[in-house]
Amino acid sequence: MNRRTPLTPYLFIFPSAAIFLLFIVWPALQGFYQSLFRRGVIVRNDIPALAAEFVGLGNFRQLLHDERFLAVLGRTIVYTSVTVPLVVLVALGLALLLRDTFPGVGIVRAIVYWPSMVSLIIVGISWKWILGFESGVANYLMTQLGLAKVPWLLDPTIALATVVLVSVWATAGFFMVIFIAGLNAIPDVYYESATIDGCGSLQLFRHITAPLLKPTTVLVVILATINAFKVFEQVIVLTDGGPGRATVFMVQNIYEEAFRHPFGVGYASAQSVVFFFIMLLFAFVQFRMTRGGEA
Amino acid sequence: MRSPLRTVKAMGVLVAVAIFLVPVLWVVLSAFKPGSELATYPPRILPVHWTLANFSDGFRFGNFARYFLNSGFVAVTSTVLSVVISTMAGFAFAKFRFPGRDVIFFAMLATLMISLQVILIPMFLTLKQLGLINSLWGIIIPPAATPTGIFLMRQYMMTIPDELLEAARIDGATNLQIFARIMIPLSVPVISTLTIFSFVWRWNDFLWPFLVINDDRLQTVQLALANFVGQYAVKWGSLLAMTTLSMLPMLVIFLIFQRYFLRGISTTGLKA
Amino acid sequence: MYKPPPAWSGGRPPPGPRKERTLEPNSRRAAPAVRRPSLRSLFEGAGDRKEDFMRKVLIALVVFLLAAAASAKELSVLWFYDDPSELAFVKQAFAEYTAQHPDVTFKLNTVSYDNLFTKVTQLIAGGTPPDIVKLTDVRPEFAPFVLDLSKYEGKDFLKPFIPGVARGMERGGKIIGAPLDVTANGIILNKSYFQKAGVSIPNEQTGWTWTEFEKAIREVTTKTQARFPLVWDVTPHRWLTFLYENGGSIFKDNGTANGFDTQASINALTKFAAMNHDGLMPLSVWGGTDNPRDLFFSGQAVAWMSGSWQVKAMEDGIKNFDWTAGPNPSVTTRSSVLGYKFVSAFNTSKYPADAADFIRFFTSKEMQRKYAQQLTVIPARTDVGTVDYGNPQATEALNNLAYELKISPLAASSDVTNPAIAYVWDTLKENIVAVTLKQETPQQAVTKVSAAIDKGLAATH
């Protein structure tokens, strides 16, 4: 290593990197390797019924023709493309609303952040209570108002929209908190001098807030994207992938293949490999286009 | 001219509270409803007969006092560890130029994209080989490295002016001193943020505890809550009751640390 | 496995690597040269080398004596449960067994039902499988590890159990487990609503046809505040009740061939779908995620196709109306469906004979009676006699359902105990839902399910 390259950054990164390598990267590589086989959860080459069968790229070839897989993949990408802008806007709006300190702001922030404090399963359950077709609060109110019951979770298209909205609701608080930290990092000095110069609220936002918030915004967009791709728990509770298979997304597909279909672990691994590279591509493009958030 | 904006903001806050509060209320209030009231028609938010039976049933189901202690220990320890190593890594990525910087950073981010379901067994075997099975350390250490946390730290620290560090270097400060005396104090808002996040993540972790813990007495609250989901039916009353209790520590941590989301901390740095 | 000694932090020099503790009764002779260590100093550990050594030897001696008295075998047990009273029962069984066999102790670990398969496979893959486990089926993924109980308990071990279940416990000449309890699918009725509407429920001997049943529950719905005549649990296992009631089956030829490609299947699928659209059942249950149990418990439904495992929950949870179970209506046949849970051992166990013996003990006649009584379930043994469940509603319901199971056709128990069924469940459910939602025709569903059945048969026969 030449003298110019500092050792310090590597040392500072080392603890995190070591944990990643040991506990995530190494098993993930094994997961990649798994995708080259047809196998179950347990592999024992001394027991014929449980031996792993090497199929090379066979699982991947099968994926190309798997209509169900392709449909699920497409749906997941569409879902992500719709959810991410929504959640970023909502989170930013909430952050602008709740960045100031007024009496009770802590409680309000906690209420908005609450969905992150409970598991997504509880989030799903509480929305199911609201949106249940026959007995839910929403449809009860509709009937009281003389309107028809809405098939929130029964109609394929409406169910998709419902899942998007519930997910936005469930994750906005988390991103709001990040935005608040980012917003409050912008020194007051800039706002003060700009106001003295006669700038209005909108101009303040356009010329000061937005540019200085860029690193945070990039963070939120990339995290929200990865998060949206991995949607799972709340969907299981809300629709279980239904009606029919209209709201099945990638993680559910992978999970079912690995744990419900006998000897599906190899195929599920292949799916997760493809899925990984697609997410990687999205994140890479976002990262590059925004230069990692550097101002 | 501030008045209309204030009114709009106030209304916005009320709307937000309404939208976010209803499901929370349902969960918390349902914990006090007897079983027969959980699925009534017409639906009601408020219980007709308030009861604490769900709570007592929940405690009967398992040694929740111990589970809360386990979860608490894990959450606190892992949060401390996570904040320390994430802040260090964030600093390195934000303020240094070194070969492989962006690649390593992106590789860390990429670990978020791995579907953990298919690598449960390899993860388990690694934990086993390192002797971390059936030990709370097995759920403290592995999740402490979080790409989100490092990403958060990096983005935030990037906004701290390089001039500050330059000035300190000229004065002869070592990297460690810069880290401790400049970066950390200026990063209080984001460190508070990460503290809240990390505590919540560890408290709500299910996957790692499921892999690591076999002994009932080492269970965390989340593992114990899963036991309410039986083969044939879910014990909603107890589940909602214990979930409500489970929320409280996180609420406390949130309220404490969110006070540090203060405005304009950076300005004090410029004067130093 | 050698474990490295803990990190050293100064003070006395570190001990060497651990030596195997050998029994040294004669080492007591070394003692007289030194002040005899008191009991306290045994544990205080301060002092010179000789006392140190003495301390270690005495402790080793004590340990050896204790160990000799009880060369402990610890059996690890993995259990899932719905109610903590079941755990209490199991622990009590452990205590009783250990009282009779002092050298056998137990370590109980629990898991939730949803995660059972993941946990079992994880433990096996990690090299630490449990010795004993409670299961609902033996999945192909871990089938090779299940212990053949007949080796230890004899080929006639399953004789005292209900024949349908016993058949399920035999795979390829091996006995893979001992049945714990059986469940029977059946119609659960809101008796209070029937009384209020003045409609009578036929008794078990008479029974009713599907047409009579439908007419009755529709009438009850109009005359009471119920919103739906019928709700149905959303699982393919529950749907099978209707298949059998239409005279159909999944397998045929003694479970070796596909028996699903028949007119009976088409009738069952068609009629079932129709019931979701003509007001008999709310579409939001099978077509969505509304919960039928909630609907029945809250008095919104008159009848509920579920089964005997709900009796305990109803006993505890339904306070504002009377309920009962059965008779199951017949289209062409009157039928229930068998369900079962069993306890198995893994052949990786260090103490297979003890594991098998405990299983024998746990499913013996007296234990079965207590088990059925405590958990409010139907025992799997036929020689238990009548079980007093304490609660008259529960007793009537369980007896009715047990009777339903007894008079069901062979398919009602032989289908679910066929190993190939593991390959069929998910496809079956998916296609029932698809037909219900009018996304495909019954014929298309039959074709797809038949494909899954053929695949399952090929994989297991």
- Structural domains present in chain A: 65-293 (1.10.3720.10)
Confirm or reject contact between C452 and chain A (CB < 8 A). no
* Residues B248 and B128 reside in one and the same domain: no
Reading the block at residue C351, the tokens are 């103490």
Query: Would you call B13 and A6 a contact, using CB atoms and an 8 Å cutoff?
Result: no
Rounded to the nearest integer, the mean pLDDT of chain A is 91
Report the C-alpha gap between A224 and A91 in whole angstroms. 11
Reading the block at residue A89, the tokens are 């806007």
For C80-164, list the strands marked E by DSSP. Answer: 104-110, 132-135
Query: Would you call C126 and B125 a contact, using CB atoms and an 8 Å cutoff?
Result: yes
pLDDT score at B267: 43
Q: Which pLDDT band, with edges at 50, 70 and 90, does C48 fall under?
A: low
* Residues B107 and B156 reside in one and the same domain: yes
Residue B79 belongs to domain spanning: 64-227
Q: Decide if B15 is inside a domain.
A: no
Closest Cβ opposite residue B99 in set A5, A20, A23 = A5
Least Cα separation, residue B245 to chain C (angstroms): 20
Q: Dump pLDDT digits (tens) for A172-202.
A: 999 999 999 888 888 888 888 888 888 887 8
List the single residue in B with minimal CA-CA distance to A255: B117
Which phi-psi region, left, alpha or beta, contains residue A52 (left: φ > 0; alpha: ψ -120 to 50)?
Answer: beta
Contact C333, C247 (CB under 8 A): yes
pLDDT score at C359: 97
Q: Decide if B113 is inside a domain.
A: yes
For C364-418, list the strands marked E by DSSP. Answer: 378-379
Contact C169, C176 (CB under 8 A): yes
pLDDT score at C5: 37
Can you tell me the mean pLDDT for A162-168? 96
* Residues B233 and B219 reside in one and the same domain: no
pLDDT score at A2: 44
Return phi, psi of residue B61, to 5°: -70, -30
Contacts with C300 from chain B: Cβ below 8 Å: 41
H or E element at residue A1: none
Least Cα separation, residue A244 to chain B (angstroms): 22
Closest Cβ opposite residue C112 in set B124, B133, B229 = B229
C182 secondary structure, DSSP code:
E
Q: Decide if B51 is inside a domain.
A: yes
Q: Decide if B89 is inside a domain.
A: yes
Compute how many other C-beta atoms are within 10 angstroms of the C-beta atom of residue C436. Answer: 24
Return phi, psi of residue C184, to 5°: -130, 130
> Which range (C1-5, C195-199, C375-379) has the least confidence?
C1-5
Q: Which pLDDT band, with edges at 50, 70 and 90, does C17 fall under?
A: very low
H or E element at residue A295: none
* Residues B85 and B42 reside in one and the same domain: no
Reading the block at residue A38, the tokens are 């047809």
Contact A279, A229 (CB under 8 A): yes
Least Cα separation, residue C51 to chain B (angstroms): 34
Rounded to the nearest integer, the mean pLDDT of chain C is 87
Q: Decide if B12 is inside a domain.
A: no
Query: Would you call A259 and C142 a contact, using CB atoms and an 8 Å cutoff?
Result: no
Residue C11 has pLDDT above 90, yes or no: no
* Residues B104 and B188 reside in one and the same domain: yes
pLDDT score at B258: 87
Provide the residue type at C132 as one letter. Answer: I
Q: Decide if B106 is inside a domain.
A: yes
Report the C-alpha gap between A135 and A154 in whole angstroms. 13
Residue A168 has pLDDT above 80, yes or no: yes
List the single residue in A with minimal CA-CA distance to C299: A135
Q: Where is pLDDT greater, at C13 or B155?
A: B155
Report the C-alpha gap between A280 and A130 in whole angstroms. 36
Q: Decide if B161 is inside a domain.
A: yes
List the single residue in B with minimal CA-CA distance to A104: B255
Contacts with B184 from chain A: Cβ below 8 Å: none
* Residues B82 and B105 reside in one and the same domain: yes
Q: Where is pLDDT greater, at A93 or C4?
A: A93
* Residues B125 and B233 reside in one and the same domain: no
* Residues B255 and B142 reside in one and the same domain: no
Residue C98 has pLDDT above 60, yes or no: yes
Rounded to 5 degrees, what angle do the CA atoms A214, A220, A224 make? 150
* Residues B210 and B150 reside in one and the same domain: yes
* Residues B99 and B208 reside in one and the same domain: yes
The CATH number of whichever domain residue B156 belongs to comes to 1.10.3720.10
Could you report the average pLDDT of every consecutive run of 10 residues in chain B (272 residues)? 76 90 90 85 88 91 92 97 97 93 94 91 92 94 96 93 91 90 91 95 94 91 91 87 94 91 51 36
Residue A286 has pLDDT above 50, yes or no: yes
pLDDT score at C84: 86
Please give the tally of structural domains in chain B.
2
Question: What are chain C's domains?
Answer: 29-61 (no CATH), 73-182+340-379 (3.40.190.10), 185-338+392-460 (3.40.190.10)
Query: Would you call C127 and B128 a contact, using CB atoms and an 8 Å cutoff?
Result: yes
* Residues B69 and B138 reside in one and the same domain: yes
Contacts with B215 from chain C: Cβ below 8 Å: 109
Query: Of B247, B92, B61, whose CA–CA distance to A122 is shortest?
Result: B247
Confirm or reject contact between A31 and chain C (CB < 8 A). no
Reading the block at residue B213, the tokens are 């813990």
Least Cα separation, residue A61 to chain C (angstroms): 21
pLDDT score at C67: 57
Q: Dump pLDDT digits (tens) for A98-136.
A: 988 788 888 999 999 999 888 898 999 899 989 989 888
* Residues B70 and B165 reside in one and the same domain: yes
* Paired residues of C338 in beta bridges: C184
| Top mean-pLDDT range of C16-25, C54-63, C240-249 | C240-249
Q: Dump pLDDT digits (tens) for C284-332.
A: 999 988 999 999 999 999 999 999 999 999 998 898 899 999 799 999 9
Strands C174-175 and C170-171: antiparallel
Burial grade of A261 (CB within 10 A; 0-12, 13-18, 19 or more)? middle
| 3-state secondary structure (DSSP) of residue B189 | helix
Query: Would you call C300 and B41 a contact, using CB atoms and an 8 Å cutoff?
Result: yes
Report the C-alpha gap between C97 and A89 in whole angstroms. 63
Closest Cβ opposite residue C290 in set A42, A135, A237 = A135
Q: Decide if B272 is inside a domain.
A: no
Query: Of C460, C169, C132, B210, whose CA–CA distance to A263 is shortest?
Result: C460
Query: Would you call A5 and B98 a contact, using CB atoms and an 8 Å cutoff?
Result: yes
Report the C-alpha gap between C298 and C316 in whole angstroms. 14
Q: Which residues contact A191 (CB under 8 A, 6 or more apart)?
A: A204, A208
